[in-house]
A = this chain, B = another copy of it.
Amino acid sequence: MVKATVVGASGYMGGELLRLLVRHPEIEEIVSVSRSYAGKPVSSLHKNLYKVLDLPFVDLDLDNIDSDIVFFAAPHADWFAQVPSLLNRGLKVITLGGKFRIQDPVLDHRVYGGYEDPSLLEERVYGLPELYREDIKKARFVTNPGCYPTSILLGALPLKGLVLEDKIDFEKIVATSISGTSGAGAKPSVSLHHPEMCDNIRPYNIFFHRHRPEIEFILKDTFKKEVNVFFTPSIANMPRGIISYVTLFSSEVDIDLTKYFTAFYKGEPFVRIICGDDENVPGILEVVGTNYCDIGVNLDESSGRILILSAVDNLIKGGSGQAVQNMNIMLGFNETTGLDLVCGHP
């Protein structure tokens, strides 16, 4: 039994962490940190936790945290400077913000600015268990992947090791992702005002989204090639879920990709390959509320185009669920503990 602290517990990502931790059999204590809401009941904001987690938010006091693990679900800020001291005191740290996900000091600084600490950047492990599980086991400091990168990377990774790999043009990857609105956070704004988003779908950050260099960095690290991902995110009229459409061009076509993908993820508890007939494509409804990533793959016979469809719950496998998965790995629990979530139908 361990103690966990969630910094940034007032946001959607933090709230989802609380929800998962409160039912996690290895967690005996949860500290919900929020500067803005300190003193107020957690359930005054996260009403789903009424009678479930009847504790108040507390102010940030990292020096006196008595926890085994600290999740930072808030954007990186001045608290980041305290991570080294937490690690030195023996705590494990998982960050859910973007800082340090890109393990390139120049690029990281350009995209996320602010804090710099080469040793921390060097030590960090990118928390995609399907790719870096062994590193995560040994890690003290894990940066949890972004929601879009989780869906796109899990979709593209099985191409590694195929005969086909060398025949793919990694400089012409097109990734179009549609997200539920919770991905944009809990803060009200005109563009997320219900009357403006109901029945709508809206591309945003079409010039540049911060997840693009993250996706490209991991793909480069994996495939050892130049990579260009033309990434266009959108939000649509649904509270949760991401579906990514990833197109790659290859010169090779004679291959059963579904079979390869299935073999690639054999034994993975949270990746499901969906057979790609028209009745069975990955869908939002089957992943929302779960830690699954559902993937379908399709080859265009006439041209070598590969279409990968990949769906996750943006707040679970794309965030808090994956963070709990990382915690389980880091602390030596069974990887699926507290994550055996099955969504309903419908």
Chain A 207-249 near chain B by CB (<8 Å), digits 1 or 0:
1000000000000000000001010101011111101010101
Residues on the B chain within 8 Å of A199, using CB: 180, 198-199, 237-241, 284-285, 288
Segment touching B, from A46-54, A99-107, A142-150: A46-54
A198 and B198 in contact (CB under 8 A), knowing A193-B192, A206-B307, A340-B23? Answer: yes
Q: How far is the CA of A118 from the CA of B60 in the complex (A)?
A: 57
Stretch at the interface among A28-36, A69-77, A170-178, A322-330: A170-178
Taking CB atoms, residues of chain B closer than 8 Å to A237 are 194, 198-199, 236-238
Report yes or no: B342 in contact with A239, Cβ–Cβ below 8 A. no
Q: Nearest Cβ distance between residue A10 and chain B, in whole angstroms?
A: 11
A344 touches which one: B16, B193, B245 (CB < 8 A)? Answer: B16
Contact between B198 and A238, CB atoms less than 8 A apart: yes
What residues on B are CB-neighbors of A178 within 8 Å?
A: 178, 201, 236
| A169-207 vs B, Cβ < 8 Å mask (1 yes, 0 no) | 001101010101110001111101111111111111111
Query: Are A345's CB and B201's CB within 8 A?
Result: no
Write out the residue numbers on chain B whose beta carbons fall within 8 Å of the beta carbon of A171: 303
Contact with B along A129-148 (1 / 0, CB 8 A): 00000000000000000000
Contact of A202 among B196, B283, B346 (CB under 8 A): B283
Q: Determine whether A300 belongs to the interface, using a CB cutoff of 8 Å to chain B.
A: yes
Q: Is A168's CB within 8 Å of the partner chain B?
A: no
| Residue of A188, A290, A300 with most partner-chain B CB within 10 A | A188
- Cβ of A290: which chain B residues have Cβ within 8 Å of it? 48
Q: Identify which of residues 250-308 in chain A touch chain B, using a CB-to-CB cut-off of 8 Å.
A: 272, 274, 276, 278, 280-286, 288-290, 292, 296, 298, 300, 302-303, 305, 307
A50 to chain B, nearest CB (A): 6
- Given that A12-B346, A194-B181, A194-B197 are contacting pairs, would A245 and B272 also be in contact in the complex, using a CB cutoff of 8 Å? no
For chain A, give the interface size range: 35 or more
A192 to B197, CA, bound (A): 11
Contact mask A94-115 → B, CB, 8 Å, 1/0? 0000000000000000000000
Across the interface, do B48 and A344 meet the contact criterion of CB distance under 8 Å? Answer: yes
CB A297 to nearest CB in B, in angstroms, measures: 10
A134 to chain B, nearest CB (A): 24
Binding site for B on A (CB under 8 A): 12, 15-16, 19, 22-23, 46-52, 171-172, 174, 176, 178, 180-182, 186-190, 192-207, 228, 230, 232, 234, 236-241, 243, 245, 247, 249, 272, 274, 276, 278, 280-286, 288-290, 292, 296, 298, 300, 302-303, 305, 307, 309, 315, 340, 342-346
